[in-house]
């Protein structure tokens, strides 16, 4: 069984504990009871008996959103006009729907560049359905994905007297030059998508509706869908045609039941999907955790097979490990652990920070002494730009070991200072074949040393370019990942 979750299994290994990879917070609370939310399965789109919430959702339209979508389409339920006849004279009106997410994250405004507050954001690529109020589902005016750029449908010509129902799904098609799909699913029953009416019985026009995150009724579906959709739309690492199935539930593979990415969830849990992400109640409150788990999925999906092995995590309470989980940002870990977690941290950092900026801030989510001042901090904001080689500064440097913190900062340096694109970094990760790494590395064996595997992958990607290899080596040494 392959795991990427926080937790320590009771089986003691040599020099460490057998742990699961990727769960990024400890959350022991009991599972939430089902909330009164309508959902619809992928196999059946039957109309529910009722819906939750008010139909009064209209807000003022952001003009820029409309102007970004010049295309028009004729509604399929209307007859075609004769040539030269005006649309208005024929009794038609324009109809365009734009959708926004209103998230509610705890980790905003700490120095990151994007989504620095809980302001409404474009629901890029979200799937919506528009039907005449007099018609049942199946006779749709529009049933598809909105623009990945603007969050809007095309402009449609419809009957000016028509009245329409609009619903949104926890599903999106994202990635500008590829078609990748996001599904946020319920944790029980048929694992169906969530959906919600955005408006009912509305007249045509240029409309914007906002899907508001609401912990009481939506189980933070908007938080998950917004962060995951934005992440894969922005940093998809060359993936195309991939589906990211995200279950709104704790990770069953983690004793602490946090968040995780599980590459063989289907086989282990009987799910309808081969792999899955699990976002816990505390995880869905933090956009960096959601992006981190998406980063694990992107890294794994770039490999063939899309899998990562179990790992052995070295737990040393004198070297940054505070005992709250099996691995942390600053804990001394086998390179097999540190490199994978560091890659996922870097992915999240690259989503929420501008690579052209001279700073980078990461909203971490555990209690660590990130600045070695002797005072651990809960959920600190840490720099992914400044500093390097935490393990050496802590007096714990040793061959075959590293920290997630140093690997995150190493990749950020390669990304920004060496100016290697994220797509190219994903290619390097693919060549490094992390799913074949041994749990306990052997620094003397290049084939069993994660750093050497990554360096060799970089060498292949840049064609052995001496300048780029020199820069790679400089930053590897500076951040202490070359052990």
**What is the distance between the alpha carbons of residues 1 and 20, in angstroms, rounded to a whole number?**
10
- The CA-atom distances, in angstroms, between 3 and each of 9, 231, 258, 275 are 12, 22, 12, 11
Strand partners, 278: 247, 260
Q: Which of 404, 446, 436 is nearest to 310 (CA)?
A: 436
The answer on 215 and 83 residing in a single domain is yes
Domain boundary among 229, 247, 265: 247
**What is the distance between the alpha carbons of residues 347 and 345, in angstroms, rounded to a whole number?**
5
Domain boundary among 200, 231, 247: 247
Q: Which of 225, 212, 215 is nearest to 54 (CA)?
A: 212
- Is residue 186 one of the residues assigned to a domain? yes
For β-strands 92-102 and 206-212, DSSP reports them as: parallel
pTM over 0.85, yes/no: no
Judged by phi (left if over 0) then psi (alpha if -120 to 50, else beta), residue 274 lies in: alpha
**What is the distance between the alpha carbons of residues 425 and 431, in angstroms, rounded to a whole number?**
10
Cβ atoms of residues 366 and 6 within 8 Å: no
- Is residue 103 one of the residues assigned to a domain? yes
Judged by phi (left if over 0) then psi (alpha if -120 to 50, else beta), residue 389 lies in: left
**DSSP, residue by residue, 62-87:** -HHHHHT---EEE-TTSPPPPTT--T
User: What is the per-residue pLDDT for 308?
Assistant: 53
Report the length, in residues, of the chain. Answer: 483
The answer on 75 and 13 residing in a single domain is no
The answer on 319 and 175 residing in a single domain is no
- Is residue 269 one of the residues assigned to a domain? no
User: What is the per-residue pLDDT for 314?
Assistant: 54
The answer on 65 and 13 residing in a single domain is no
The answer on 162 and 62 residing in a single domain is yes
The tens-digit pLDDT sequence of the chain (483 residues) is 334 443 333 333 333 333 333 444 333 322 333 333 343 333 233 333 223 333 222 222 222 222 222 234 444 433 333 333 466 667 889 999 999 999 999 999 999 999 999 999 999 999 999 999 876 665 789 999 999 999 999 999 998 999 999 999 999 999 999 999 999 998 876 788 999 999 999 999 999 999 999 866 667 999 999 999 999 999 999 999 999 999 999 988 776 788 999 888 877 777 777 899 999 999 999 999 999 999 999 999 998 655 554 444 555 555 755 544 567 898 888 999 899 999 999 999 999 999 998 899 999 998 888 888 888 889 999 999 999 899 999 998 999 999 999 999 999 999 999 999 999 999 999 999 988 888 788 888 888 899 999 999 999 999 999 999 999 999 999 999 999
Please tell me the total count of domains within the chain: 2
Q: Which of 427, 430, 411, 419 is nearest to 350 (CA)?
A: 411
- Is residue 338 one of the residues assigned to a domain? yes
Q: Tell me the Cα Rg of the chain.
A: 24
- Is residue 282 one of the residues assigned to a domain? no
User: What is the per-residue pLDDT for 65?
Assistant: 26
Q: How far is C-alpha 226 from the chain's CA centre?
A: 9
- The CA-atom distances, in angstroms, between 437 and each of 17, 156, 159 are 17, 53, 61
Q: Which of 107, 52, 379 is nearest to 227 (CA)?
A: 107
The answer on 214 and 321 residing in a single domain is no
**What is the distance between the alpha carbons of residues 8 and 39, in angstroms, rounded to a whole number?**
35
**DSSP, residue by residue, 195-227:** EEEEEEEEPPSEEEEEEE--HHHHTTHHHHHHH
Show the CA angle centred on residue 221, arms to residues 166 and 404, nearest 5°: 145
- Is residue 255 one of the residues assigned to a domain? no
Show the CA angle centred on residue 287, arms to residues 286 and 290, nearest 5°: 95
State phi, psi for 174 to the nearest 5 degrees: -130, 180
- Is residue 2 one of the residues assigned to a domain? no
The angle, 0 to 180 degrees and rounded to 10, between the axes of the packed helices 466-479 and 450-461 is 150
The answer on 415 and 367 residing in a single domain is yes
**What is the distance between the alpha carbons of residues 13 and 313, in angstroms, rounded to a whole number?**
9
User: What is the per-residue pLDDT for 88?
Assistant: 64
The answer on 61 and 13 residing in a single domain is no
Q: Which residues of 177-190 are buried (b: 16+ CB within 10 A; e: fewer)?
A: ebebbbbbbbbeee
Q: Which of 149, 143, 123 is nearest to 64 (CA)?
A: 149
The answer on 229 and 136 residing in a single domain is yes
Cβ atoms of residues 222 and 285 within 8 Å: no
345 CB neighbour count, 10 Å cutoff: 27
Tell me what percent of the chain is helix, strand and coil, each rounded to the nearest 5. 25, 25, 50
The answer on 51 and 13 residing in a single domain is no
Domain that residue 167 falls in = 39-247
- Is residue 229 one of the residues assigned to a domain? yes
Q: Which of 410, 287, 405 is nearest to 352 (CA)?
A: 287
Give me the sign of the Cα torsion angle 240, 112, 363, 214. Answer: negative
**What is the distance between the alpha carbons of residues 179 and 173, in angstroms, rounded to a whole number?**
6
**What is the distance between the alpha carbons of residues 128 and 126, in angstroms, rounded to a whole number?**
6
User: What is the per-residue pLDDT for 2?
Assistant: 36
The answer on 75 and 216 residing in a single domain is yes
The answer on 68 and 210 residing in a single domain is yes
User: What is the per-residue pLDDT for 322?
Assistant: 52
Q: Which residues of 302-320 are buried (b: 16+ CB within 10 A; e: fewer)?
A: bbeebebbebbbbbbeebb
**What is the distance between the alpha carbons of residues 76 and 72, in angstroms, rounded to a whole number?**
12
Q: Which of 449, 332, 472 is nearest to 391 (CA)?
A: 332
Quote the DSSP letter at residue 436.
G
Cβ atoms of residues 448 and 432 within 8 Å: no
Domain boundary among 230, 247, 264: 247
């Amino acid at each position: 069984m392959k795991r990427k979750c926080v937790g320590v299994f009771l089986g003691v290994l040599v020099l460490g504990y057998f742990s699961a990879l990727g769960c990024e917070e400890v959350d022991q609370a009991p599972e939430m009871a089902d909330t009164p939310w309508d959902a619809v399965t992928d196999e059946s789109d039957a109309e529910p008996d009722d819906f939750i919430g008010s139909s009064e959702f209209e807000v003022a339209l952001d003009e820029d959103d409309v102007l970004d979508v010049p295309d028009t389409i004729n509604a399929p339920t209307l007859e075609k006009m004769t040539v030269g006849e005006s649309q208005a004279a024929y009794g038609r009106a324009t109809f365009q729907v734009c959708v926004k997410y209103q998230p509610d994250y705890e980790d905003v405004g700490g120095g990151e560049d994007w989504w620095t507050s809980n302001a409404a954001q474009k629901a890029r690529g979200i799937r919506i359905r528009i039907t005449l109020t007099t018609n049942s589902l199946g006779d749709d005016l529009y049933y598809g994905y909105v623009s990945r750029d603007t969050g809007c449908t095309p402009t449609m010509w419809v009957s000016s007297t028509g009245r329409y129902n609009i619903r949104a799904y926890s599903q999106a098609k994202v990635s500008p030059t590829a078609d990748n799909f996001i599904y946020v699913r319920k944790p029980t029953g048929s694992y169906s998508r969530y959906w919600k009416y955005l408006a009912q019985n509305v007249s045509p026009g240029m409309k914007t509706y906002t899907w508001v995150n609401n912990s009481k009724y939506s189980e933070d579906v908007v938080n998950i869908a917004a962060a995951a959709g934005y992440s894969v739309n922005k940093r998809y690492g060359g993936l195309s045609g991939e589906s990211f199935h995200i279950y709104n539930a704790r990770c069953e593979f983690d004793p602490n039941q946090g968040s995780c990415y599980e590459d063989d969830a289907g086989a282990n849990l009987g799910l309808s999907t081969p792999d899955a992400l699990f976002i816990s109640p505390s995880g869905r409150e933090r956009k960096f955790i959601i992006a981190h788990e998406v980063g694990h999925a992107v890294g794994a999906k770039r490999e063939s097979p899309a899998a990562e092995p179990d790992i052995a995590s070295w737990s040393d309470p004198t070297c940054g490990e505070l005992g709250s989980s099996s691995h942390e940002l600053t804990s001394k870990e086998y390179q097999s652990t540190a490199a994978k977690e560091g890659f996922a941290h870097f992915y999240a950092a690259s989503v929420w920070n501008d690579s052209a900026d001279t700073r980078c801030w990461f909203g971490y989510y555990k209690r660590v002494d990130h600045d070695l001042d002797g005072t651990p901090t809960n959920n600190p904001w840490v720099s992914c730009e400044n500093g390097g080689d935490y393990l050496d500064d802590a007096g714990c440097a040793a061959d075959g070991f590293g920290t997630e913190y140093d690997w995150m900062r190493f990749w950020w340096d390669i990304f920004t200072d060496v100016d290697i694109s994220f797509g190219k970094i994903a290619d390097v990760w693919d060549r490094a074949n992390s799913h074949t790494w041994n749990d306990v590395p052997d620094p003397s064996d290049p084939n069993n040393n994660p750093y050497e595997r990554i360096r060799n992958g970089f060498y292949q990607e840049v064609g052995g370019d001496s300048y780029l290899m020199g820069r790679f080596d400089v930053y590897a040494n500076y951040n202490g990942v070359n052990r």
